[in-house]
Structure 1
């Protein structure tokens, strides 16, 4: 009776290829994302991703619309616009805080100004068919009024559209309330909020 030798492995290779340890895999650099520090003085309350996406949807379909973000902050609404297919070449970002501006430049040019001053300066000379904003809550009426003064069709057939995140106490004759947000949307602000839409012919 033939027995297989105990030191052989029938039908199996006696060796396996081993990668040369002197030839390691090429180093893959890891890009570190620098955190965005939000100073309390900015009154910047970061829009949650899901809320930002819905606000962009409320603006309407994508197209060659010049779009204004008057209080660009940490860029949440800008990222949602770009993710939806909106062209970065059609975005105008305004942000008064120089530290936040430094993070926004990756998305395109930023106007480092107080939006109320900017709006007063360009009123009558600039028109935006789309405006999306999360304005400072304490000056929400002034910011929405300034943004509304810049609404214009810009050659498009459909009405110009402004979508804003505002406190639930905000009132406007032509504002359509699209949804009221949960109380914990901005826990540090302790303000109940809603999303509104204003259209201008």
Structure 2
């Protein structure tokens, strides 16, 4: 090739560029509110695939009033709705104010400590179904409180509770359905399992 090819031209080159102004304005991005869940709440979020299996263990959708104590971020509630359960039959209890505010699309919400709610509701309401992932440090109290609210409520089938609990949890009527992988709740360093209790 000729060496002149590698030389700059004597005059600068210019290109005409037209500017378009007919683009649609982009919508302003709103920041997503981050809900900080402090350590004291013991909100260990149920993985969606585990939540789906727990709902399957609970039974087929129907007109049965269902309780979700300590509803947290709503993964169990979401799994219930995705499997065909009605939001009008779901009662969620969550004491964390911001978390409870996020649960309304799934069903009715009671912003209370579940143990306090259970003490007041006992004898006034019967839940044929309960699905729960209770705080691990008070799992026995929460499961006992949930069992105290269970009843047939006009249905023929036996009431049932499905719960995600520490592997050390024992109950004479509990049927162990599966042991979850060790890293399911890695931050809590607690090995867990899924149980079912019929009343």
1:193 Cα deviation from its structure 2 partner: 0.3
SS at match of 1:186: coil
| 1:166/1:154 CA distance change after superposition, 3 Å | same
State the partner residue of 2:132.
Answer: 133
1:34 Cα deviation from its structure 2 partner: 4.1
1:67 paired with 2:66, answer yes
1:80 Cα deviation from its structure 2 partner: 0.5
State the partner residue of 1:5.
Answer: none
1:41 paired with 2:37, answer no
Q: Deviations over 1:146-173 (max 9, x none)?
A: 0001111111111101000000100000
Structure 1's unaligned 5+ residue stretches are 1-20
State the partner residue of 1:149.
Answer: 148
Deviates more, 1:164-173 or 1:23-32: 23-32
Q: Deviations over 1:93-115 (max 9, x none)?
A: 10111121121123233111111
Equivalent residue pairs, number: 180
Please tell me whether the aligned partners of residues 70 and 93 of structure 2 are also in contact (alpha carbons under 8 angstroms): yes
Alignment of 1:64-143 (within 5 A): 64-143=63-142
Please tell me whether the aligned partners of residues 36 and 103 of structure 1 are also in contact (alpha carbons under 8 angstroms): no
| 1:138/1:32 CA distance change after superposition, 3 Å | same
Q: TM-score, normalised on structure 1? A: 0.83
Distance, in Å, in 1 between the alignment partners of 2:147 and 2:36 is 30
Distance, in Å, in 2 between the alignment partners of 1:112 and 1:76 is 17
Structure 2's unaligned 5+ residue stretches are 1-19
SS at match of 2:103: helix
| 1:176/1:29 CA distance change after superposition, 3 Å | farther
| 1:55/1:31 CA distance change after superposition, 3 Å | farther
| 1:157/1:28 CA distance change after superposition, 3 Å | farther
State the partner residue of 2:160.
Answer: 161
| 1:153/1:26 CA distance change after superposition, 3 Å | farther
Alignment of 1:10-25 (within 5 A): none
Distance, in Å, in 2 between the alignment partners of 1:30 and 1:160 is 47
Please tell me whether the aligned partners of residues 36 and 74 of structure 1 are also in contact (alpha carbons under 8 angstroms): no
| 1:22/1:107 CA distance change after superposition, 3 Å | same
| 1:26/1:111 CA distance change after superposition, 3 Å | same
